[in-house]
Amino acid sequence: MIDDAYLWLESLDEPEAARWVAERNAETLAALADEDFTRTKDAIREVLDSSDRIAFPSWCGDGFYYSFWKDAEHPRGLWRRTTAEQYRRDEPEWDVLLDVGALNEAEGENWTWSDVTVLRPGHDRCLISLSRGGADASVVREFDLVRREFVTDGFVLPEAKSDVGWIDADHIFVGTDFGPGSLTASGYPRVIKRWRRGTPLAEAATVFEGRVDDIVVRAHHDATEGYERDIMIRHPTFFTSEYHVGPTGGPLERVDVPEDADCQVHREWLLVRVRTPWTVGGVTYPGGSLLATRVGRDDFTVLFRPDGRSSLNSWSWTRNHLLLVTMTDVRTEAHVLTPGEPEWTRQTLPGAGEYAQVWIVDTDPDRDDSYLIAAEGFLRPTTLSLGTVGGPVEVLKRQPAFFDPAGLEVRQFFATSADGTRVPYFVVGGEKPGPALLSGYGGFEIALTPGYDAVIGRGWLARGGAYAVANIRGGGEYGPDWHRAALRENRLRAYEDFAAVAADLVARGITTPEQLGITGGSNGGLLMGVMLTRYPELFGAVVASVPLLDMRRYTRLLAGVSWVAEYGDPDVPADWEFLREYSPYQNVRAGRSYPPAMFLTSTRDDRVHPGHARKMAALMREQGHEVSYHENVEGGHAGAADNDQAATIRALALEFLWRRLAR
Catalytic residues: 522, 637
**What is the amino acid identity at position 317?**
W
**What is the amino acid identity at position 115?**
D
Q: Cα–Cα–Cα angle for 438, 405, 72, nearest 5°?
A: 85
* Sheet with 357-363: strands ordered across: 357-363, 370-377, 380-388, 393-398
Query: Looking at beta carbons, which pairs linking 368-372 to residues 24 or more positions away fall under 8 Å?
Result: 368/318, 368/319, 369/318, 369/319, 369/320, 369/321, 370/318, 371/316, 371/318, 371/323, 372/57, 372/60, 372/396
**What is the amino acid identity at position 347?**
Q
Q: DSSP code of 349?
A: P
Strand-pair partners of 545: 521, 600
Q: Where are the beta strands (DSSP E) in 84-134?
A: 95-99, 111-118, 125-132
Q: What are phi and psi of 582, to 5 degrees?
A: -125, -10
Q: What are phi and psi of 549, to 5 degrees?
A: -140, -30
Q: Is the peptide bond before 286 cis (omega within 30 degrees of 0)?
A: no
β-pair type (171-175, 357-363): unpaired
Closest Cα partner for 215 from 480, 489, 549, 564?
564
Closest Cα partner for 597 from 660, 512, 645?
660
Specify whether the CB–CB gap between 483 and 475 falls below 8 A: yes
**What is the amino acid identity at position 132?**
R
Backbone torsion region of residue 133, taken as left when φ is above 0, otherwise alpha when ψ lies between -120 and 50, otherwise beta: left
Q: What are phi and psi of 395, to 5 degrees?
A: -75, 120
Side-chain-side CA neighbours of 416 within 13 Å: the count stands at 4
Q: Give kind and range of the element (H or E) at residue 376.
A: strand 370-377
Q: Is the peptide bond before 236 cis (omega within 30 degrees of 0)?
A: no
Distance CA 517, CA 438 (A): 6
State the distance between the two ends of the chain, measured CA to CA, in whole angstroms.
Answer: 45
Question: Residue 524: is it exposed, middle or buried by C-beta count within 10 angstroms (0-12/13-18/19+)?
Answer: buried
Distance CA 378, CA 428 (A): 7
